[in-house]
Amino acid sequence: MSFTQPIINWAALTPALIVLVGAVLGVLVEALVSRPSRHFTQVLLGVAAIAGSGFALYRRWDAMPGPNQPWPPNIAPGLVEDPFAIAAQGVLLVIGFLAVLVMADRTAVGDGAFAAQSADRPGSAEEAESLHAGWTTTEVFPLALFSLGGMMLFGAVNNLIALFVILELVSLPLYIMAATARHRRLLSQEAALKYFVLGAFASAFLLMGAALLYGLSGAVDYASIAQALRGQVVGADLLALGGLALVTVGLLFKVGAVPFHAWSPDVYQGAPTPVTGFMAAGVKAAAFFALVRFHYEAAGLMGWDLAPFLWGVAIATMVLGTVAGIVQKDVKRMLAYSAIAHAGFMLIGIIAYNRVGIASLTFYALTYGVSTVGAFGLISLVRSRHEGAVGGEANDLEAFKGLGRRSPWAAGAMTVFLLSFAGIPLTAGFTAKFQLFVSGVTGGATWLVILAVACSAATAFFYMRLIVLMLFHAPKGEEVAVVDSQGMVSVAVLLAAVVTVVLGILPQAVIDLFGQTAMLLP
């Protein structure tokens, strides 16, 4: 019996390994560090891991060979390093850094978004005792790092087995994190259960599609699958089409595309708000990066056969996200349907099947992710008030009436994010949409772009409605309070707002940088 030793490029794995090692150290912190010191230690460790990973990623980008130089072999079986993978990791590190800052803030009233102990039964004496002791669930930080490490590897996957394994690495920590809300605990636990059950369906679809593609090609790597698709035997086209479609469905679950979106509104509403922002920005970006590589390296060879399926999903996603978002009265559910609509827009970058589509989709993931984390960070500060005591989050639209008078900085920052979501000029959202729609027209999806423009104009209604409530209405009595941040949410929101404005006014340098990410793809 022979054994072939795998060849692993550890230097190329360094950025993701630093994050994952930080997650392992975070688990040890939970076991070895006293409870009063855990929160500070976990926050410091999380920020340090992301900063170290960012430095390592910069070194990897700087070490990339020039256009006429040979590229190194794969990082490991199933993983590849190229400009697209490095750019994807950079986008996810930015999102992860902002998300960790939002998770870390316990606000001026000292409660934060997470339960004292996740194991306490809601409403029990044990929960009351944990709250009185001032405890908080610090396990979310290593869980977030585990998920972030998986997200960073998602865009580097070129193998169906690695795709499934990393999908679970991304998802499993989020199932737990979704159940850790401090307020409305039962709603949070219900959200986690729904996310877990429907996530299992996503994994099942992906595995079934992988099995069909393996049966067709006898291999699991994208290059071999693409070669098999070029020389497939007569009658195998349905097998290939079914396999490609099922793997695509597994990833479409993660981006919340219709009709695979059912989990999104309930999970967005029930999960702790910092976790919602992390999911909405990070998971969507990571899943689209994985979808880009799968589609452009393998599935795109059957583009004409897959076109009706992808067009149908994109149209349904844009239309349902727009229409359902208009009638929402809860801010988190409204942003959930907004995220669904944005997933439909981002599918244009997949359908376009050109290099402009890859670059524009990467830029869109960055701008949308940054604005999303910032928006949910602000939502976590708007609280209900009962007899002078600050309670849980007030997510009803009416609670945001007069926010500009209660907290001008919060209303101003939220306005920036909402304008970016709507695609108003001089914001990053406008530039991202323009680039994405140009790629769609270039790729022959002109009618889809026209529909996307119409839906984008319609979604502006519910963004503008919230802006009007914040800036042009009087506050709603004393039933709502805007709590002060300890500083970390403020820093995250300020950075997100600055990036949103700068990328709207001076986007060219970043667009050119992302233009280099498509150089290895067809």
Is 428 exposed, middle or buried (CB count within 10 Å of its CB: 0-12, 13-18, 19+)?
buried
pLDDT tier at 454, thresholds 50, 70, 90: very high
| 46-91 residue pLDDT tens | 999 999 999 999 998 887 776 666 666 677 788 888 889 999 999 9
Token couple for 359: 């670059």
> Percent of the chain scored above 90 by pLDDT?
56
pLDDT tier at 125, thresholds 50, 70, 90: confident
Contacts of 318 (CB under 8 A, 6+ apart): 341, 344, 345, 451, 452, 455
Nearest to 83 by CA among 513, 503, 508: 513
Of 432 and 78, more confident: 432
Q: Are 414 and 493 in contact (CB under 8 A)?
A: no
CB atoms within 10 A of CB 516: 17
| 182-231 residue pLDDT tens | 888 888 889 999 999 989 988 999 999 999 999 888 889 898 898 888 77
| pLDDT of residue 246 exceeding 80 | yes
**Which pLDDT score, from 0 to 100, does residue 277 have?**
94
| 106-119 residue pLDDT tens | 877 777 778 777 77
**Which pLDDT score, from 0 to 100, does residue 275 have?**
93
| pLDDT of residue 233 exceeding 60 | no
Average pLDDT, the chain: 88
Contacts of 69 (CB under 8 A, 6+ apart): none
Nearest to 318 by CA among 460, 452, 443: 452
**Which pLDDT score, from 0 to 100, does residue 301 have?**
73
Q: Are 95 and 373 in contact (CB under 8 A)?
A: yes
Q: Is 123 left (phi over 0), alpha (psi -120 to 50) or beta?
A: left
3-state secondary structure of 206: helix
Of 183 and 505, more confident: 505
Of 405 and 388, more confident: 405
Please report which residue ranges of 137-184 form alpha helices under DSSP H.
140-154, 160-177
pLDDT tier at 3, thresholds 50, 70, 90: low
When pLDDT is averaged across residues 427-439 and rounded to a whole number, the result is 94
Residue whose entry in the numeric block shows the structure tokens 């869109």: 364
- Residues, the chain: 522
Kindly report the backbone phi and psi dihedral angles of residue 396, in degrees, each rounded to the nearest multiple of 5, phi listed first: -65, 145
**Which pLDDT score, from 0 to 100, does residue 394 have?**
81
| CA 327/CA 430 separation, integer angstroms | 24
Q: How many helices (H) and strands (E) does the chain have?
A: 21, 3
**Pairing relation of β-strands 389-393 and 382-386?**
antiparallel
Q: Which helix (H) or strand (E) holds 134?
A: none
| pLDDT of residue 281 exceeding 90 | yes
3-state secondary structure of 344: helix
| 258-270 residue pLDDT tens | 888 889 999 999 9
When pLDDT is averaged across residues 144-156 and rounded to a whole number, the result is 94
| Residue ranges per structural domain of the chain | 10-518
| pLDDT of residue 293 exceeding 60 | yes
